[in-house]
Amino acid sequence: MSVTVLVEAAQLLTLADGPKDSPRAGPAQRELGLRRGHSVILRDDRVAWVGPERERPATPGAAEIDCRGRVVMPALIDSHTHLVWAGDRKDELELRLAGADYEQIFATGGGILASVRQTRATDDDTLLAESRARLERMRRSGTTSFEIKSGYGLDLATELRQLRVARRLAEETGARVRTTCLAAHALPAELREHADGRAEFIRRICSEILPSVAAAGLADACDVFCDRGAFSIDEAREVCLAARALGMQLRLHANEFGHTGGARLAAELRARSADHLLHLDDTEREALRAAGVVATLLPGTSLVLGKPYADGRALVRAGVPIAVATDCNPGSCALESLAMVLALACYGCKLSPAEALCAVTHNAACSLDLNHEVGRIEPGMSADLLVLATPDYRDLVYHAGSPLISQVFQRGHCIWAV
């Protein structure tokens, strides 16, 4: 048995005071359960005890880590990534910086389709190695739980390969991984010339790809890129209903490029999460709130693409629970540090540091059904947590990008320390 004590943190963010079975919205999203001068005992892979240092029970032989002058908080949970892909699109980055538009690049066969060509042509070992390098950088940046989407295959064999790689990343690193089948990411090149190519692709997803993925137990959820230039509301609904019939949770890329109806569809289908949401009106926010959908904001993508930021304040006022994620992908945002994106959620989406912190811990966990494992520091929870080299968590925003994360614990093991 291994026992570690984190001694007398200047700030311990437990997230333990609000609702635990559901994501937090409105004023509750600012409730961090902040304790001063508290210690945490980790036993094997679990949090065993939390309380004031003076009340700490004796733990002979335990490793002690002095956390005076430091923050202890839950490890980060990245609830929207596409991190299994091959190759890169750095040429597109330069085109966009020179003025080209993401939707134009996509329409002319670049964008997602460029990553599909590269991913299909790459063998499993290389795909695993490239993806693992990204995952390791993300773990060193404080993230120990991940949602990973497929969507760079767009055919049965490659979608299965991507999802298998995502599962292997979990087995090899011990990171928690929830997988999502995003076969409905783009219409594949080989079907673009056919008159009924769109209908044929939707048929393949519903009757071949999703059933095979479900039979292999490779996806926890299904997602659709439901937006202008991608898939329509009717197409997205058909895919989602097929996925639901197979027992998958639903997540949706929605309202990134306009009021395309994706957010309303997410509410109608009671999806776990509606993601992006750059364009959202009061009735759409109310629909999300009433349906209990988590609004997942991806401000890194707004930064990289030069798009507007989602209005976080309006979502807080409307009582919609908010998660924040990287959207780590080869084109529109390859940022890997969720801590950096947390700061962007403050500067761009106007969340307060406390709201953004809940968005990358408890609320993200809820959207992935991981909220009884990670996202809070309480006895019985998995010992996934961070030690920050500062006494004030707001420095994650104030000094965004600085190397403040001094230790990363995953399942009770220190996997990174500086």
Residues forming the site for Zn ion (CB under 5 A): 327
What burial class does residue 182 get, using C-beta atoms within 10 Å of its C-beta: 0-12 exposed, 13-18 middle, 19+ buried?
buried
- Least distance in angstroms from the C-beta of 337 to Zn ion: 17
Our CB check for Zn ion shows the closer of 169 and 404 to be 169
Our CB check for Zn ion shows the closer of 149 and 289 to be 149
C-alpha–C-alpha distance, residues 190 and 412, integer Å = 47
Dihedral sign from CA coordinates of 99, 102, 107, 109: positive
Residue showing tokens 């969720």: 338
- Least distance in angstroms from the C-beta of 182 to Zn ion: 8
- Least distance in angstroms from the C-beta of 329 to Zn ion: 6
Token pair, residue 121, equals: 């042509």
- Least distance in angstroms from the C-beta of 82 to Zn ion: 6
Residue showing tokens 């959908």: 293
Listing DSSP states for 50-112 in one string gives: EEEGGGPPP-TT-EEEE-TT-EEEEPEEEEEE-----S--HHHHHHHHTT--HHHHHHTT-TH
C-alpha–C-alpha distance, residues 14 and 188, integer Å = 45
Contact call for residues 363 and 24 (beta carbons, < 8 A) = yes
Residue showing tokens 């309303």: 264
- Least distance in angstroms from the C-beta of 22 to Zn ion: 24
- Least distance in angstroms from the C-beta of 278 to Zn ion: 13
Our CB check for Zn ion shows the closer of 141 and 180 to be 180
Q: Name the strand (E) or helix (H) holding 313.
A: helix 312-318
- Least distance in angstroms from the C-beta of 190 to Zn ion: 23
Our CB check for Zn ion shows the closer of 78 and 327 to be 327
CB closest to Zn ion, residue no: 327
Nearest alpha-carbon partner for 219 in 122, 148, 273: 148
Secondary-structure breakdown of the chain: helix, strand, coil percentages, each rounded to the nearest 5: 40, 20, 40
Our CB check for Zn ion shows the closer of 41 and 254 to be 254
Our CB check for Zn ion shows the closer of 74 and 110 to be 110
- Least distance in angstroms from the C-beta of 333 to Zn ion: 8
CA 271 vs CA 82, 289, 291: distances in Å: 19, 12, 8
Our CB check for Zn ion shows the closer of 130 and 327 to be 327
- Least distance in angstroms from the C-beta of 211 to Zn ion: 24
C-alpha–C-alpha distance, residues 87 and 133, integer Å = 13
CA 47 vs CA 95, 379, 383: distances in Å: 48, 5, 5
Our CB check for Zn ion shows the closer of 227 and 327 to be 327
Token pair, residue 394, equals: 């707001």
Our CB check for Zn ion shows the closer of 298 and 366 to be 298
Our CB check for Zn ion shows the closer of 284 and 327 to be 327
Q: Name the strand (E) or helix (H) holding 166.
A: helix 156-173
- Least distance in angstroms from the C-beta of 357 to Zn ion: 22
Listing DSSP states for 105-143 in one string gives: HHHTT-THHHHHHHHHTS-HHHHHHHHHHHHHHHHHTTE
Q: Name the strand (E) or helix (H) holding 235.
A: helix 233-245
